[in-house]
């Protein structure tokens, strides 16, 4: 274990596939210990996970951190957004959690949009137009398909809420994660009683929204955890808001996150309200806003294409006029929840490497298409795109983003930005600082800048044309 100059804090990243824990020196940002443990997700159209696995994985990740975790003064949890966790009166999961990439509630999403007056009304009231990813649509789906589970539910939580509650014994959330539910109204920064009534959800089942900088609770006695009793627990937040903290983002700096899902976001002083539904009007964890566009298919989809082709993920080749829309899990941006992958333009001379490059192009095209909507009108377009997530260090991802965006790209050297953001939030409890200022003091966004190249406007136009022509077929889904 490395020596520490200041008090220690723990930042947690409970993602789709695993839970990671970092013990961080609050003074310097140095990681002095770390741990990680996996959990599983169901296959098929439904995407579900057992919340008890998240807790077991957290305990194991903390155990791997050893004595450093016991010395920590505060802890915070960042978690995957949107997931619906239903608990019984004893605090046990009623059923597996419905995850963000479970798209079975697409019909309920469309119904709710119509019932509340259309996309514009939702955007103005909630800040976002709900899609199948949003928690409110998942609750509506559950009420329709599993009424017994709804009747057995005594508490509704998001993934990070669930882990925070296991730490403290109290039901809490934060504005950043709550803003992705569809039942928290950004216009009033409160739960929306009318929306809750429409889906039959008692507001008493929801957690208290903890204010930025407020202590959510303290670690209660448990033999499963290495923490000292009384260790402070921060509010925590959703994974994208945690990553924004981890980067110390200032307004106007765009982020492309390349993970299982792809996201584009930036901090804004202005409350977003995009009636097209492309941009989700999320709150951040500090008191500002985090307009964000998300795709369901990013690194996992491209890696799957590479596997099908028998290629290493970096084995791309230039050339050809092939278009591949890698919508293997349906898609959120564009809003095509029933879609599957689509290939157009295959020729006798098309190579496997060109097919793989087309998969990268299709994934990045969707993210860049939302970038202008995410950024404020006065944003400085010369600011490099911050490239983060599991794909950020891949040469093929870097070059594709540069070629299709025409902008400089910066790759922060710091890894595990969600966990670092959670750690910065925990450190802010101890020092009284803005967590983003803590992260800037730690230098988490520092990294090499890749110069811009000429934008491949022809490729962007080709992909857009194929998407436009094929949208009715994609929306119909496979038969």
- Active-site amino acid positions: 239
Token representation of residue 361:
């192009």
Between CA 376 and CA 32, with CA 234 as vertex, the angle to 5 degrees is: 95
Look at the block and give the residue holding tokens 């499963």: 224
Q: Under a CB-based contact definition with an 8 Å cutoff, are residues 165 and 207 in contact? A: yes
294 φ, ψ to 5°? Answer: -130, 140
Could you tell me whether strands 74-79 and 237-238 are parallel, antiparallel, or unpaired per DSSP bridges? parallel
Distance separating alpha carbons of residues 67 and 23, to the nearest angstrom: 10
Distance separating alpha carbons of residues 26 and 46, to the nearest angstrom: 40
Peptide bond into 334 cis (omega under 30): yes
Provide the H-helix boundaries in 331-456. 352-369, 371-374, 395-405, 417-431, 435-442
SS3 234: strand
Q: How many CA atoms lie within 13 A of 156 on its CB side?
A: 25
Q: Under a CB-based contact definition with an 8 Å cutoff, are residues 216 and 210 in contact? A: yes
Distance separating alpha carbons of residues 178 and 238, to the nearest angstrom: 8
Distance separating alpha carbons of residues 437 and 107, to the nearest angstrom: 42
Work out the number of other CB atoms within 10 angstroms of the CB of residue 116. Answer: 19
**CA-based nearest residue to 96, from 33, 142, 63:** 142
């Amino acid at each position: 274990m490395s020596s520490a100059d200041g008090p220690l804090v723990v930042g947690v990243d409970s993602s789709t596939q695993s839970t990671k824990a970092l013990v961080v020196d609050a003074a310097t940002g140095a990681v002095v210990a770390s741990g990680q443990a996996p959990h599983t997700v169901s296959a098929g159209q439904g995407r579900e996970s057992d919340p008890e696995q998240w807790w077991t994985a957290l305990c194991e990740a903390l155990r791997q951190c050893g004595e450093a975790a016991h010395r920590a003064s505060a802890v915070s949890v960042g978690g995957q957004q949107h997931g619906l966790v239903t608990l019984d009166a004893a605090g046990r999961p009623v059923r597996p959690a419905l995850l963000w990439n479970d798209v079975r509630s697409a019909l309920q999403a469309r119904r709710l949009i119509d019932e509340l007056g259309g996309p514009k009304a939702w955007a103005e009231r909630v800040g976002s137009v709900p899609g199948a990813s949003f928690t409110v649509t998942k609750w509506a789906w559950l009420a329709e398909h599993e009424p017994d589970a709804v009747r057995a539910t005594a508490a509704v939580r998001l993934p990070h809420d669930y882990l925070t509650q296991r730490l403290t014994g109290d039901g809490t959330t934060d504005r950043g994660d709550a803003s992705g539910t569809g039942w928290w109204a950004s216009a009033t920064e409160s739960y929306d009683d009318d929306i809750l009534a429409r889906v039959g959800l008692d507001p008493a089942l929801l957690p208290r929204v903890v204010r930025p900088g407020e202590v959510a609770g303290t670690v209660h006695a448990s033999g499963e955890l290495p923490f000292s009793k009384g260790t402070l627990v921060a509010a925590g937040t959703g994974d994208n808001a945690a990553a924004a903290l981890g980067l110390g983002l200032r307004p106007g700096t765009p982020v492309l996150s390349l993970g299982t899902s792809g996201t584009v976001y930036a901090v804004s002083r202005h409350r977003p309200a995009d009636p097209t539904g492309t941009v989700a009007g999320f709150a951040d964890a500090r008191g500002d806003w985090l307009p964000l566009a998300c795709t369901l298919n990013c690194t996992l989809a491209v890696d799957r294409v590479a596997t099908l082709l028998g290629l290493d993920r970096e084995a791309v080749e230039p050339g050809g006029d092939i278009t591949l829309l890698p919508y293997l899990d349906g898609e959120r941006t564009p809003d095509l929840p029933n879609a599957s992958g689509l290939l157009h333009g295959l020729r006798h001379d098309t190579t496997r490497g060109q097919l793989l490059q087309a998969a990268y192009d299709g994934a990045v095209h969707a993210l860049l298409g939302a970038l202008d909507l995410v950024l404020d009108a006065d944003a400085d377009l010369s600011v490099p795109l911050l490239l983060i997530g599991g794909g950020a260090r891949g040469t093929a991802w870097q070059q594709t983003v540069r070629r299709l965006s025409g902008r400089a790209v910066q790759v922060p050297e710091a890894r595990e930005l969600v966990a670092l953001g959670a750690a910065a939030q925990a450190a802010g409890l101890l020092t009284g600082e803005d967590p983003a200022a803590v992260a800037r003091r730690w230098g988490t966004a520092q990294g090499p800048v890749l110069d811009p190249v000429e934008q491949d406007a022809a490729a962007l136009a080709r992909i857009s044309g194929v998407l436009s022509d094929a949208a009715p077929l994609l929306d119909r889904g496979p038969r």
